[in-house]
Each structure stands twice: as C-alpha cells, then as structure tokens.
Amino acid sequence: MVTYVDAAEAPARNTGAIRLYGPEDFEEMQAAGQLAARCLDDLCDLVKPGTTTTEIDDFVHDFALRHDVVPATLNYRGYTKSSCTSINHVVCHGIPNDKPLKNGDIVNIDVTFIRNGWHGDSSRMYPVGQLKRAAERLLDVTYEALARGIEAAKPGATTGDIGAAIQAFVERERCSVVRDFCGHGVGLLFHDAPNILHYGRPGEGIELKPGMIFTIEPMVNLGRPHVKILSDGWTAVTRDRSLSAQFEHSIGITSTGNQIFTLSPAGRHKPPYL
C-alpha cells in the first residue's frame, strides 16, 4: 500500500510515506537545485589533466560557503567530503583524493546543496582531455538514458515506467544498468521515499502524482552491471572494471509533466562543455 502525506505535515524522517509538495516548495527546490547546477557549471573549467579530486572538492566546499548553503554529504553517515568524484570504473561515491586526473579519464562529480532546508542533488560526467571513442559513447548513452527517464516522469505514469524507459534504451545500446543504487525522494530530506529504480517494467511500482519530488540518476556500465564496494566502505566499482557513467537531476512532478530543478543555467548539459 502507498501512503501520501502533505510535506508540510510530514515528520522530519523517512517514514516510507510519499510526501506531496506544493508550489512554494517547488520554488525552494528550484533555488537549491540551481545552486548545485551553477556549481557543476563552474567546475567545467577546473576539470583537466593534472587537477586532483581534492581540488574539485575544495572548489565545491568553497562554492557552498560563498553561497550560504551546506554540502549535504559533509558528515552524512560518516562521509567527510563535500562531493563525490567517481573516476572511470568507479560507479558512484568515489571519495576525493590527491591523485591527479589523467588525459582520457571520465569523472562524475555529484553535488548536493542544502539551501534553507531544501536539498538540490545533481551530478554530471566530465571528460578529462581527449576521450577514447568507447568512453565518449558511454557518456552519450548515459545522458540520453537520464533524458528518457525524465521524459517518462509524469502524472499517471509509474516509477516502473521511468526504469523501463532507461533500461530499454541502455540495453539496446549494449550497455548495462547498475541495480545496486537508485534514485530517491528528495526535498526536506536527502534520501526519502520513493526509490526510483533505473530498470523495471512499464506499469510496475507506484503511480506518479503532482507534488512528488525525487532524483533520477542512472549508472550505466560498458560491461556487466555488477558492482562491489571497496574497503573504504564507500567507493563502488564495476566488478569487471569496465567504465561506468552517471548523470543525475532532481525533478518535481507537475500537473502536466515535470520540472527539472537542476538544469544547467549555462547550457552545459552534457559534454563537450564549451
């Protein structure tokens, strides 16, 4: 059974009930989301061979301070950085470190800012220098997978319709969808109900209703879908060490479709970021 609750009356924890947010809440999400998007825009110029992911994380941390927002990952369940930086075969939750990026790397930068209590969560892939054709194709497929998931997100559709749209496209492109991580309700909480699976069948899951706010964040591998977590307890990598990519947006369901809160104001939606 699915239960719904007016976001204003909902307890401040994830109870499994799905919060329905109002128009003022959508404005708050738009403001939080746009700050995350502007930070991701500004990072384009920093990502090049020689840059370390610590330098990227420092930029994100400083951006947050300058704009009076809080990086949601900082001290979240023991995580101590302001961003996640996931390189090549790292699927997600890569921890920034002092190793320089190399020509040909692909890196996902995932940023969540809390503004006035509201969480704007988004990530993009960044090419480092000149990519090989396979890496370039993976970024295209993953971006398009997110776009197709978002297109399927509208009132009357289900969470399964989103997953099915993503999976059908990704597998047609001979890539695979990671099953171990999913999108999530977002808003006043970082990770809330419902789960948004990036695979599934049309009509499965719960029906989407105006006022729902969640992320879609497909992780797509060039090889097999299986992942393992490294001994740091965070870093997820592909078991077959194949390349992995991810794009993420925070969106809200409207009466006619959806609103993307984390769209790039600079038009830096996908590489190449000119």
Interface positions with Co ion (CB under 5 A): 110, 121, 123, 215, 248
41 binds, among Co ion, ligand MF3, none (CB under 5 to 8 A by kind): none
One-letter amino acid for residue 188 of the chain = L
Q: Encode 167-207 in three state secondary structure.
A: HHHHHHCCCEECCCCCEEECCCCCCEEEEECCCCCCCCCCE
Return the number of other C-beta atoms located less than 10 Å from residue 101's C-beta: 23
**At closest approach, how far in Å is the CB of 32 from Co ion?**
13
Q: What is the three-class DSSP state of 238?
A: strand
105 binds, among ligand MF3, Co ion, none (CB under 5 to 8 A by kind): none
Q: What is the three-class DSSP state of 164?
A: helix
Q: What's 99's DSSP letter?
A: P
Q: Which residues pair with 86 in a beta bridge?
A: 108
76 binds, among Co ion, ligand MF3, none (CB under 5 to 8 A by kind): ligand MF3
The span from the CA of 85 to the CA of 91, in Å, is: 10
Of 195 and 254, CB closest to ligand MF3: 195
Of 92 and 131, CB closest to ligand MF3: 92
Residues at the contact surface with ligand MF3, assessed by CB under 6 A: 73, 76-77, 79, 84, 93, 110, 112, 121, 215, 217, 234, 248
Of 190 and 273, CB closest to Co ion: 190
Of 131 and 261, CB closest to ligand MF3: 261
